[in-house]
Chain A
Amino acid sequence: MSNRLDNLKKEGILGAFITPGDIDIEKTEEYILSMIEGGADFIEIGIPFSDPIAEDSTIQEFYIKALENKVNTDTIFDCVKRLRKDTEVPVVIITNANPVFSYGIDRFFENCRLSGVDAIIMPDVPYEEVEEFKGEADKNGVYIIMAVAPTDEDRIEKIVKDAKGFLYATALAENTVEDMEKLISTVKAKKDIPVVTKDESFKCDGLILSNEIVKLIDRGMETKAISHFVKSYK
């Protein structure tokens, strides 16, 4: 089974995050297309969750707004399905474990495949707990993107071994640039897989624009300007 992330470039990757927040789903699609026009190499769409502990309170506010506007897991799948008529850019879903689990793990990953979702990031599912999601993900050709952090080498090695698509480098506020450099070189010594991050201060293979974009959209920035904004990171 092929996956659109297999064709992701090896460096200079730009990802762009969006969650509907206050805007409706049609407008969300327009923004996604403008982000692609601006050069986004993959799109990360947040399925809103009421209590995203791995995200900051800015993202939580957007999630809560989206939930108030009746956005749900099915709305997001439908959105991706429509997008697939216009684009083959990889789509990565980000959400917590519970929206996936409560939807039914089998049904969730089947709908990922049917709508054209390529991968999923579940920030509250570490290596220890990923097994219960893996079977259905594999069956449907959907990658589970794993996070890595500056921990011990054995741990990083285990995570890297099974990693597909790309790896998400995360850090504690107290981690230094040196910690991250060491993390990335540890990963690279094990496997040639792109490492992306949300933090511009870490040098790796790719950057995901997240809070920046949702804040600009919230302030009313139009699609064209979002496209330019994304382009400015190329």
Chain B
Amino acid sequence: MKKGRFGIHGGQYVPEILMKAVNELEEAYNKYKDDPQFNRELKELLDNYAGRPSLLYYAEKMTKDLGGAKIYLKREDLNHTGSHKLNNVLGQVLLAKKMGKTRVIAETGAGQHGVATATAAALMDMECEIFMGKIDCERQALNVYRMQLLGAKVHAVESGTQVLKDAVNETMREWTNRISDTHYVLGSVMGPHPFPTIVRDFQSVISREARSQILEKEGRLPSAVLACVGGGSNAMGMFYNFIGDESVRLIGCEAAGRGIDTKEHAATISKGKLGIFHGMKSYFCQNEYGQIDEVYSISAGLDYPGIGPEHANLYDSKRAEYVPVTDTEAVDAFEYLSRTEGIIPAIESSHAVAHAIKLAPTMSKDDIIIICLSGRGDKDVAAIARYRGVNLYE
């Protein structure tokens, strides 16, 4: 297999001026990934700063209510900064530090990756600049202020459609201005090689823990693991250590927005075509001339027209399944989990919860489902209130 490929997907489709940066990153990653000192430092950060291992929680009320498979939640929402994003960011910022970089830049959609990057930058004394679509800045205003509190400079991206894909465009452009002191902390399992591999490795801690936790609690493997998919980092983290366990179904839940038969969705696997964009070959929502579609989801974090190359390959090989989940289903699931378990999930993670609500009753009581609860929903409360027509007062 060619370097950085997952089947036919992946690769390094970046301008020549960035090749030096991606090659340098690959070299550094290969040097440090098995370095005992690096791994000690990373483990220390994950255990004593992020709060790992995260809980594997038995959702007993939900299980009883749905009356089928036993449901567990992998509680990435309990990670410091409120989502799985910190797992990758701590790894990458530590790596950047080892590479002698003094400045990090990152894109963000919902703001979770931006907040995580700003956090790690504050902790590790790095200069930090975050690029966020102007529309996302408005829908996630609290996260913008959070990043500023953490000392980051936030750029509202006004080019293109002013959402996540445009934030990625601008961050890549910014990287072409400065590579000597700057590392691009890519937030998902996407982009040019080596990013999909690096991010997957740093996120695979989710399934490494979940697999041993479920074996300890239940003495057997789950029947299915579920995660929401935008670019696909929490899903890749949740799937990775189960890929070899053929009995475990891997189910990614894509944002179907207002429905996959409308134009307003971000369901890349359901509706996308093979293409080359943002440094990688994978599936993308695009028109007949290869123009990237404007996609839509209530969730800013899933509002992305592509999917990471390893997911595209897991889909091709039929090892993983990808299902569409609409805004309405996700919002219902958001409210359901809040009321049933007293856990307010991120609207992104609610897509996975929504599919579990459909799936669990069709399974037997001997089956086990693990849902990756990738983030907490505090950031979404105002948007959900708006969606329900509730007026919130300051």
Kindly provide the distance from the CB of B2 to the nearest chain A CB, expressed in whole angstroms: 9
Give the distance in Å from the alpha carbon of A125 to the alpha carbon of B12 in the complex.
8
Q: A99-B291, A124-B14, A128-B11 are in contact. Are A50 and B19 (CB under 8 A)?
A: no
Q: Does B289 contact A (CB under 8 A)?
A: yes
Known contacts A50-B291, A103-B289; A172/B179 CB under 8 A: yes
Question: B288 to chain A: which residues have CB within 8 Å?
Answer: 102
For chain A, the bracket of interface size reads 35 or more
Name A147's contact: one of B13, B15, B166, B290 (CB within 8 Å). B15
Beta-carbon nearest neighbor of A100 in chain B: B290
Contact flags A124-135 to B (C-beta < 8 A → 1, else 0): 111111000000
Interchain nearest-CB distance for B18 vs A (Å): 8
Q: Which residues of B contact A149 (CB under 8 A)?
A: 16-17, 19-20
Chain B positions within 8 Å of A61 at CB level: 159
CB pair B13–A170 under 8 Å, yes or no, is no
CA distance A155 to B159 in the complex (A): 33
Convert B9-29 into 0s and 1s, putting 1 for each residue whose CB lies closer than 8 angstroms to a CB of A.
001111111011000000000
Judge whether B19 and A155 touch: CB under 8 Å.
yes
Contacts of A96 in B (CB 8 A): 276-277
Please indicate the chain A residues that have their CB under 8 angstroms from the CB of B284 in the complex.
Answer: 98
B180 at the interface (CB under 8 A from A): yes
Give a binary string over B273-284; 1 marks a CB under 8 Å from any A CB, 0 the rest.
111111100001
B residues within 8 A CB of A125?
Answer: 13
What A residues does B16 contact at CB under 8 A? Answer: 123, 126-127, 146-149, 151, 159, 170
Task: Report how far A117 CA is from B305 CA in the complex, Å.
Answer: 31
A97 with B15: CB separation less than 8 A: no
Which of B166, B276, B278, B292 touches A101 (beta carbons < 8 Å)? B276
Q: Which 8 A-B pairs have the closest CB atoms?
A: A102-B290, A147-B16, A173-B177, A98-B290, A97-B276, A54-B15, A99-B290, A57-B159
| Any A CB within 8 A of the CB of B213 | no
A102-B288, A155-B19 are known; give 7 further A-B pairs, CB within 8 A. A53-B15, A60-B169, A73-B290, A96-B276, A97-B277, A127-B16, A127-B19
Taking A51-B165, A53-B15 as contacts, is the C-beta distance between A99 and B159 under 8 angstroms?
no
The secondary-structure label for the interface of chain B is: mixed
CB contacts (< 8 Å) of A172 on chain B: these are 17, 176-179
Q: How far is the CA of A49 from the CA of B16 in the complex (A)?
A: 19
Which residues of the other chain, B, contact A86 by a CB distance below 8 angstroms?
none
Residues of A within 8 A of B13 (CB): 97, 124-126, 129
CB neighbours of B172 from chain A (8 A):
53
- Closest residue of chain A to B12 (Cβ to Cβ) is A128
Range class of the B interface residue count: 35 or more
Q: Restricting to B1-46, which residues have a CB under 8 Å from any CB of A?
A: 3, 11-17, 19-20
Within 8 A of B (CB), among A79-123: 96-103, 123
A interface residues, Cβ below 8 angstroms from B: 48-51, 53-54, 56-57, 60-61, 64, 67, 72-73, 96-103, 123-129, 146-149, 151-152, 155, 159, 170-174
Tell which of B15, B166, B286 touches A124, judged by Cβ atoms closer than 8 Å.
B15
- A174 and B180: CB pair below 8 A? yes
Interface residues as binary, B248-276 with A (CB distance below 8 Å gives 1, 0 otherwise): 00000000000000000000000001111
Residues A126 and B15 in contact, CB atoms below 8 Å apart: yes
CB proximity of B44 to chain A, nearest CB, Å: 34
| B67 / chain A contacts, CB cutoff of 8 Å | none
Is B160 interfacial (CB 8 A cutoff)? yes
Nearest residue in A to B16 (C-beta to C-beta)?
A147
B273 touches A51 (CB 8 A): no
Beyond A50-B160, A53-B169, A54-B15, is A102–B178 a contact (Cβ under 8 Å)? Answer: no
Shortest CB-to-CB span from B128 to chain A, Å, is: 19
Greatest chain B CB density within 10 A among A61, A98, A125, A147 is at: A98
- A54, A102, A129, A171: the one within 8 Å of B275 (CB): A102
Interface pairs (15), CB distance under 8 Å:
A53-B15, A56-B173, A60-B169, A61-B159, A99-B290, A102-B290, A124-B279, A128-B3, A129-B11, A129-B12, A149-B16, A170-B17, A172-B177, A174-B178, A174-B180
| Contact indicator A51/B179 (Cβ below 8 Å) | no
Complex Cα gap A97–B17 (Å)? 16
Structural contact, B160 and A64, CB atoms closer than 8 A: yes
